[in-house]
Structure 1
Amino acid sequence: MSEMSPEEYLDTVDEKRRADMLALDAMIRETAPGLERVVQRGILGYGPFRYRYATGREGEATLIGLAAQKRHLSLYVLCAIDGRYLAETYADRLPGASIGKSCVRFTSLAKVDREVLRELVATAAAHGPQDAAGPDRART
């Protein structure tokens, strides 16, 4: 974990992205109030957990992560349901975003449907990180 608090992290966000980051943080906290908020590896995270690969390698991650990049905002959703990454299943409902396996990227909050993001967060919070990175990774 980081010595920086979530509030300190948000204070460091570039002014251009700060309003969107604050709005996303509030939405995530309202939608998934049971997820602990932490700063981990330079990302504001929600729902920290430990994982272990079949090889024995272990690490820490968060169910949901939020980061302000130079050109976009990134919402990381480390959740898979029935072998499919959850973020990917929302691609058709978030046309203003670029969707990766577990990442939703967009240039501003105005470019995406907030209610769809809220649903994505709620679904992830309800399911947790099981199968988050495939069958060789287990939650501990």
Structure 2
Amino acid sequence: MDVRGQIDGYIDDQPPAKREELRDLHRRILALSPDAHLWFLDGRNADGKIVSNPNIGYGAQTLAYADGDTREFYKLGLSANTSGLSVYVMGLKDKAYLSQTYGARLGKAKVTGYCISFRSVRDVDLGVLEEVIADALSLKQVGAGNPIFL
């Protein structure tokens, strides 16, 4: 199955209310970046063990690790979980950036170094969330001299 099929299957497998919110966010992200590279991670490691919630990924960047290894990964992730939905902004060097830049304007969301979690889209300001998404998927590249990104 191709990535779009995996994404559609993942969204379709969610409970009805969460399915509609996940589908709406997926459409909003694609509207902001229609040519973004799509990813689907099923949450399993190389041994087939579940290690995380499945994630839909958008965009592409090269992440560099302290040991010198690099790997391609998405810029923005979207995931359903038991308590609601999460949006992940990958490649941030400044772990306070999301909280300081968007936290006070997002609404009822938990903001960590790279994750924004919320129970329902009704709890967040979708305009501000779209700002986060546009920022994450912008042309800012890892290592491009931008102090916010790695």
Query: What TM-score, normalized by structure 2, do the two folds share?
Result: 0.75
Q: Residue 129 of structure 1: CA displacement?
A: 5.2
Structure-1 separation of matches of 2:12 and 2:97: 29
**Higher mean C-alpha deviation, range 84-93 or range 67-76:** 84-93
| Partner of residue 98, structure 2 | 87
Structure-1 separation of matches of 2:75 and 2:141: 6
* Structure 1 vs Structure 2 CA RMSD: 2.6
> Which residue of 112, 119, 132 corresponds with 2:131?
119
Structure-2 separation of matches of 1:119 and 1:91: 12
What is the 5 A alignment of 1:36-75?
36-40=37-41, 41=43, 42-75=54-87
Q: Is the 8 A contact 1:37 1:45 kept in 2?
A: yes
Structure-1 separation of matches of 2:81 and 2:141: 24
> Which residue of 126, 130, 136 corresponds with 2:142?
130
- Partner-residue secondary structure (3-state), 1:126: coil
Q: Residue 16 of structure 1: CA displacement?
A: 3.3
Q: Residue 95 of structure 1: CA displacement?
A: 2.6
Structure-1 separation of matches of 2:97 and 2:28: 18
Q: Which amino acid aligns with 2:98?
A: A
Q: Which amino acid aligns with 1:7?
A: D
Between the two proteins, what is the percent identity of the paired residues? 27
| Partner of residue 90, structure 2 | 78
Q: Is the 8 A contact 1:32 1:121 kept in 2?
A: no
Q: Which amino acid aligns with 1:38?
A: W
Q: Which amino acid aligns with 1:72?
A: G
The answer for unaligned runs of 5 or more in structure 1 is none
Query: What TM-score, normalized by structure 1, do the two folds share?
Result: 0.79
| Partner of residue 98, structure 1 | 110
Residue by residue over 1:47-79, the C-alpha shift from the partner in whole angstroms, topping out at 9 and shown as x without a partner, is 133323141333342100000001110011125
The answer for unaligned runs of 5 or more in structure 2 is 44-53
Q: Residue 123 of structure 1: CA displacement?
A: 1.4
What is the 5 A alignment of 1:18-33?
18-33=19-34
Structure-1 separation of matches of 2:118 and 2:68: 35
Structure-2 separation of matches of 1:23 and 1:129: 27
> Which residue of 113, 121, 128 corresponds with 1:109?
121
